[in-house]
Amino acid sequence: MVEPARRAEWSTPVPMSLWSCEMPMSTEERLVNHLLNPVHYNKLIRPATNSSQLVSVQLMVSLAQLISVVSQNTQH
């Protein structure tokens, strides 16, 4: 049986007067917002020697969560 992924939660005390009515962001959303924030991210920077050179990108995907859900459903 695959253990469910544990999420790290970071929180900072915020005075109630500054609290908004929006839903809290997940750890993944905060990471994406941080990495793609215009202060940190420059879309003109590429891992290539010139702008016409192709850049290959490989993605590794895991089905661990899907397998966990399927195995829990088959036990009942």
Average pLDDT of span 14-22 = 53
**Residue 35, domain member (yes or no):** yes
19, pLDDT greater than 70: no
**Residue 22: pLDDT band by 50, 70, 90 thresholds?**
low
- Asked if the structure places residue 49 within a domain, the reply is yes
Classified as helix, coil or strand, 16 is helix
Closest of 51, 31, 27 to residue 41, by C-alpha: 31
Q: In this structure, what token pair is assigned to residue 30?
A: 């905060």
45 lies in a domain? yes
Give the Cα separation of 55 and 48 in Å (integer).
Answer: 7
Looking at per-residue pLDDT, the higher value among 32 and 23 belongs to 32
Secondary structure letter of residue 52 according to DSSP: T
Beta-strand ranges (E) seen in the chain are none
Residue 55 is assigned to a structural domain of this protein: yes
For residue 26, pLDDT over 60 is answered with yes
* This prediction's pTM: 0.32
- Range(s) of the domain holding residue 38: 26-74
- Residue 3's pLDDT is what? 52
> Per this entry, what is the length of the chain?
76
The total domain count for the chain is 1
Angle at 22 (CA atoms; ends 16, 24), nearest 5 degrees = 85
Q: Does residue 15 lie within any of the structural domains?
A: no
3 occurs within a structural domain: no
